[in-house]
Chains A and B, each alone.
Chain A
């Protein structure tokens, strides 16, 4: 489906409201990275992905998206609900007992749209590679996307996966890195420097693209470019520059809101900055 940029901006504003309201309601969850990826998720689910909200696990004939940094579940739950995978009202159950909306995404409770549990970091690219290999075996020409955090790239399994995707020429796969430069304990550079990240991916045999994760035209064009690399024999990664906490001024540009919920007053302040474009749940 195709959605114009103005409409995408409106949806993203509501997605950001959903994020704040989900974490505020249970005083827990991860708003910072969720807000930073709100524009990407909105573009994916309302413009880019060829997907079916009636949901089948195998994803035959569909593009498939995997989330490796599972802690940004609030943004994923919001776009899944808003694009028809499950009732928007169910967002009110986030992180509560007996909910399908677990703190980190899971298949265990059968939430439509989720194909594998994530949260323990570094595993998503491997899983996405498996799905990409399967599509290739079946002659299914749809595409596989996987999002990872940047701090997550400190996990060793990531680099195992990168080596494999190059060796086996997995070119129906696009990885996207949420390159916000922050992680729980501080900036990437303070915690464990990622160094020449672009050079690292290049040296592992990947085509590297870059985009502005808050510019819908940049997102659409770059992902289209990534998909056009099919047949090149090389996997593609997009280093997506984002700002943690984007859209809520006091949450922007700091790691402090990685895994902390706003209090009542902060919630009111945050929501005042985000237009209610679709109905709040």
Chain B
């Protein structure tokens, strides 16, 4: 079953976002976009050229962007804010908290260049705390799709969903292996059925989890692999059903261990089905400059790190 996950090309998840914005611009006249001086990075050039009246350049002023988005949403528009993940969250946390989350505004916070895989720009821009910040906000939906196709489908799906959403994606070219057009908010994707261990992965780490699962199965381990694109609300039933069968779980994410998906899964299991767990994530550290692959390896997020975490639990 894992064999079907292969790829012929790499494309960035942010390109999937941009492609979906082009389609949304044509299909949904309520969709408006805002950007804080990063149009090219967010891949929304086509949306802008086709819908100049529904795009607002805010300049390097992210706090103002969040407030304007809240005002647009109040009057029934569907604003998509676009900038890097760092400037989409920590820099504007209070604006999101008061004007968007607490006020339940239908704003889509679209955040590129998340995590270590931003690469050479270094730790100032490699936010690894964004999922934690955003999942703590009551009523916030948090989504971290795995590849180009899933990001494109997620972007389309959140336009039809009423409520604030944090959509996290990334910079580098990455294997395209998920089917096109399939996305249901809050519904995990069972990638592979197995009986020995459950791997839960989100975002870029899902491809690494696929590769790790292939290695483990070659060694005779039966791996159940779950794609959690929606970190909040978490598909608790899917995870519980799997871990009740396998009895152990490894979570892989491009984020701090503190506050990440792993902690959400740990709370779920601790309160429902206490089970041994492993965490493949950044351990209380900032990143640094380097290529995406080098950084994932140095900070313990490689394919072999997932393999090792599973072997340790299954020993």
Q: Digit string of A90-127 for contact with B (CB within 8 Å is 1, else 0)?
A: 00000000000000001110000001111110111111
Q: Digit string of B44-73 for contact with A (CB within 8 Å is 1, else 0)?
A: 000000000110101101011111111111
CB neighbours (8 Å) of B102 from chain A are 106-108, 117
Which listed segment binds B: A41-49, A133-141, A205-213, A243-251?
A: A133-141
Docked Cα-Cα span, A128 to B77, in Å, equals 14
Q: How large is the interface on A (under 10, 10 to 19, 20 to 34, 35 or more residues)?
A: 35 or more
CB neighbours (8 Å) of A131 from chain B are 71-72, 74-75
Could you tell me if A129 and B76 are in contact, using CB atoms closer than 8 angstroms? Answer: no
CB neighbours (8 Å) of A167 from chain B are 59
Please give the distance in Å from A215's CB to the nearest CB on chain B: 30
Which listed segment binds B: A2-10, A155-163, A179-187?
A: A155-163
Main secondary structure of the interface of B (DSSP, over half): helix
Docked Cα-Cα span, A137 to B72, in Å, equals 10
Residue A58 lies at the interface, judged by CB distance under 8 Å to chain B = yes
Given contacts A117-B103, A123-B67, A161-B67, contact A134 B98 (CB under 8 A): no
Docked Cα-Cα span, A236 to B135, in Å, equals 39
Contact partner, B64, options A108, A115, A161, Cβ 8 Å: A161
Given contacts A118-B98, A157-B63, A163-B61, contact A129 B68 (CB under 8 A): yes
Could you tell me if A119 and B68 are in contact, using CB atoms closer than 8 angstroms? Answer: no
Please give the distance in Å from A203's CB to the nearest CB on chain B: 17
Given contacts A107-B103, A117-B99, contact A130 B71 (CB under 8 A): yes
Could you tell me if A130 and B59 are in contact, using CB atoms closer than 8 angstroms? Answer: no
Could you tell me if A129 and B71 are in contact, using CB atoms closer than 8 angstroms? Answer: yes
Residue A281 lies at the interface, judged by CB distance under 8 Å to chain B = no
Residue B125 lies at the interface, judged by CB distance under 8 Å to chain A = no
Docked Cα-Cα span, A163 to B37, in Å, equals 14
Interface hub of A125, A127, A131, A163 (most chain B Cβ within 10 A): A127
Could you tell me if B54 and A116 are in contact, using CB atoms closer than 8 angstroms? Answer: no
Residue A57 lies at the interface, judged by CB distance under 8 Å to chain B = yes
Docked Cα-Cα span, A255 to B121, in Å, equals 47
Residue B171 lies at the interface, judged by CB distance under 8 Å to chain A = no
CB neighbours (8 Å) of B145 from chain A are none
Docked Cα-Cα span, A137 to B63, in Å, equals 22
Interface hub of A59, A137, A138, A156 (most chain B Cβ within 10 A): A137
CB neighbours (8 Å) of A132 from chain B are 71
CB neighbours (8 Å) of A129 from chain B are 64, 67-68, 71
Please give the distance in Å from B85's CB to the nearest CB on chain A: 20
Given contacts A106-B103, A108-B104, A117-B102, contact A126 B64 (CB under 8 A): yes
CB neighbours (8 Å) of B53 from chain A are 137
Given contacts A117-B103, A168-B56, contact A157 B64 (CB under 8 A): yes
Could you tell me if A164 and B61 are in contact, using CB atoms closer than 8 angstroms? Answer: yes
Could you tell me if A135 and B63 are in contact, using CB atoms closer than 8 angstroms? Answer: no
CB neighbours (8 Å) of A57 from chain B are 74
Q: Which of A251-280 contact B (CB under 8 A)?
A: none
Residue B119 lies at the interface, judged by CB distance under 8 Å to chain A = no
Can you list 12 A-B pairs with a CB-CB distance of less than 8 A? A58-B74, A117-B98, A119-B98, A126-B67, A127-B70, A129-B67, A130-B79, A132-B71, A137-B53, A160-B63, A160-B64, A164-B64
- State the A residues within 8 Å of B (CB): 57-60, 64, 66, 106-108, 115-120, 122-135, 137-138, 156-157, 160-161, 163-164, 167-168
Q: When A and B form their complex, which 5 residue pairs have the shortest distance between CB atoms, in order from nearest?
A: A130-B71, A126-B67, A160-B61, A160-B64, A134-B75
